[in-house]
Amino acid sequence: MDCTRRSKLAALLAGVALALPALPAAADEEGLVIGHAAAVTGLLAPYDGPDGVACRVAQINDAGGILGKPVTLMTRDTKSDPVTAANIAQELVDAGADVLFGPPTDDGLIPMAGLALAQGIPVLSVGSTQPAFPQASPDNGYLVPYGDNASAAAAAELAYAAGYRKAALMIAHDVGAYSLVTPEYFAQAFEKLGGQVVGRVSYHHGLADYTPQVTEISNMADKPDVIFGAILVPDAGVFLRTLASSDVNIPVYGTDGFDDPSLIPVSGAGGKLATFITHGFPAEGSALKAFYDDCAARGFNVQNVFFGLGGEAVDVVKTAVEAAGSFEPAAINAAIREIEGMKGIVSDSVTYKGQAGTPLKQMVALQIKDGAFVEVARPTPAWVPAP
């Protein structure tokens, strides 16, 4: 990194503040600088992993850094606003970031990648599963999770294998492409298997009452036997609870929007209706469980699996830097594209080579039983819709 970028970084680090454990400053040393435009607060906060990023950086620095140099982390809160994300990204680039981590939706990520491209800076999303982002930013945009098209296909295969043939889709337009496009990926995979989509129900995230949507489903002329929705918490729990309380006990399949501990108390009796595809599960002996335990001991708040994805994002960059032997953004960017079979924190194998920015990763399916999430399958879809 050139001297101008380093001097800007030194000036800005003194003013960067966030409620995360302190990390060693490295403004005057050659080393990796990560800038994280994170959804620390707001609607998207459950789906970003700033604490997980910070914990992994702390672990790496305690072990001697990367290539013998410390990692510097600058984290700013986007407040779940895409315009704020772009503005923060520019500040982080100006401050000397070698790599940018971005928020969980494509409407914030795509502008970030555009402004970072001139300096060859890679942009990774810790929590977004929207393949529209790397597709729109093919030169420097990457997901850390799998793509929505893969998880929706996995959900469709599980639902079809369970005997369901008629699906209703929940559709929302207000969380990037996640809740709008993911149900259509499910529809493509479900119909390819022989299932039928019998209706689409519109909603908006943030509803306190899903009675109108549940009533619409129960009044469909062609009755669905399964529902699919890429719904965020707490709405996912409210919807499940409303289904159960209305005695419309139709199973609901979803994806990682369901994956937050708050789903369990909010859904109440409706929790038994849910099956969802997500990124990983902290089983005893797993790398994810070990990461959770060490980070909790360090004083970090382990909220959900997106904490683990935060750590995995750092490992993607660490792997690339070590392969490139360089902290230069363009070298890191090129090396990410060649990662193949990396052992991650959440996933046992992560591959970017030949994947156009959306990694090939394993998935897990979870349900709620006895007041806790339990793993019920590790699906690998036989067919995935094109993004």
Residue range 243-267, pLDDT digits in tens = 999 999 999 999 999 999 999 999 9
Q: What percent of the chain has pLDDT above 70?
A: 93
Q: Look at strands 226-229 and 166-171 and give their pairing.
A: parallel
pLDDT of amino acid 304: 93
* Separation of alpha carbons 96 and 109, rounded Å: 19
pLDDT of amino acid 177: 85
pLDDT of amino acid 175: 80
* Separation of alpha carbons 79 and 250, rounded Å: 35
Backbone φ, ψ for residue 47 (5° rounding): -115, 20
Confirm if 103 and 128 have CB atoms less than 8 A apart: yes
pLDDT of amino acid 12: 39
Q: Which residues of the chain have pLDDT under 50?
A: 1-28
pLDDT of amino acid 32: 98
Give the CA distances from residue 215 to residues 141, 209, 211, in Å, rounded to whole numbers and listed in that order. 41, 11, 6
pTM score, whole prediction = 0.84
pLDDT of amino acid 297: 98
pLDDT of amino acid 174: 84
Q: How far is CA 205 from the centre of its chain?
A: 18
Edge-first strand order for the sheet with 196-202 is: 196-202, 166-171, 226-229, 252-254, 274-278, 364-369, 372-377
pLDDT of amino acid 28: 36
